[in-house]
Amino acid sequence: MTPRSKERLRELQLAFVGKLMASLSHEFKNHLAIIRESSGLIEDLLLLEEQGQTSDRERYKKIISVIGERVAQAAEMCRFLSGFAHRMDQPLSSLSVTDVLQEEIYLLHRFARQKQVDLVSSFAENVPAIFNDPALLQFAVFCIVWPALQGLEKDSRIEIAVGRQNGAVEIVVNLEGTRKEPEGTSPWEELLPEVLHMLGAAFSRRIGADGNEVMAVTISSIKPSDLSDT
């Protein structure tokens, strides 16, 4: 990998992490705003009740339920964020591809909602663990999904499937819907071959019988010889 390629990889990886963190912080702000608003409503109702102007148990229950739901959603976001952050602790580790992609798909959902694209997953059972770079794997999948997400028309669908493939793990990204013709190759797509090489992964792209674009990444454990080559 050339010095310029390494620099470009670092730039785009930081951009990738920045995009997901910015989206997540926006979602946290939404949850906190609703919790704050609900708390204010309870204070107003309590004040009116003290003055003998109202007594509405059902409204209290409804507001408290909303607060509980938002707290639960924020806690779930923290859980996925924590998993995502810890992927960067060790460049190489034993990992579950399913767990790694669950975190990433969760963090990408807001972008999909904004584009009105349905982002779904389909994970097979008993997918073997592999020894590889989890943060780089998440970045590689982002390099595939992000350009598709930007190019697909609304009401399209992106399915990310994970399964076994001859002792390795196969990640299949199936695009359903109309994709606008790109003006050029995106920087994410340009860097993808180098990233896949670093992961020791194979890549294929085809048009399925239904006319949908299908991209597949086959990845297994990095071997010591592969590490010396990168």
Instruction: Give per-residue pLDDT as tens, 8-38.
Output: 898 898 999 998 888 888 888 888 888 888 8
Positive or negative, the CA dihedral 190, 96, 17, 71 is positive
Tokens of 17: 């992490």
Across the strands, what pairs with 174?
Answer: 159, 214
Mean pLDDT of the chain: 87
Contact present, 137 and 100 (Cβ < 8 Å): yes
DSSP assignment of the chain, as one string? --HHHHHHHHHHHHHHHHHHHHHHHHHHHHHHHHHHHHHHHHHHHHHHHHTTS---HHHHHHHHHHHHHHHHHHHHHHHHHHHHHHTTT-SSEEE-HHHHHHHHHHHHHHHHHHHT-EEEEEE-SSPPPEEE-HHHHHHHHHHHHHHHHHHBPTT-EEEEEEEEETTEEEEEEEEES-BPPPSS--HHHHHHHHHHHHHT-EEEEEE-TTS-EEEEEEE-PPPHHHHHH-
The pLDDT of residue 227 is above 60? no
Write out pLDDT tens, residues 91-102. 899 999 999 999
> Residue 54: pLDDT band by 50, 70, 90 thresholds?
low
What pLDDT was estimated at residue 131?
95
Q: Which residues contact 196 (CB under 8 A, 6 or more apart)?
A: 140, 202, 203, 217
Report the pLDDT value the prediction gives residue 148, as an integer from 0 to 100.
93
- Averaged pLDDT for residues 79-89: 85
* CATH of segment(s) 93-229: 3.30.565.10
CATH topology agreement for domains 3-86 and 93-229? no
For the chain, what's the residue count? Answer: 230
Task: Just give the CATH number of 3-86.
Answer: 1.10.287
Lookup: tokens for 52? 């003998």
Domain ranges of the chain: 3-86, 93-229
Handedness of CA 43, 46, 52, 57 (dihedral sign): positive
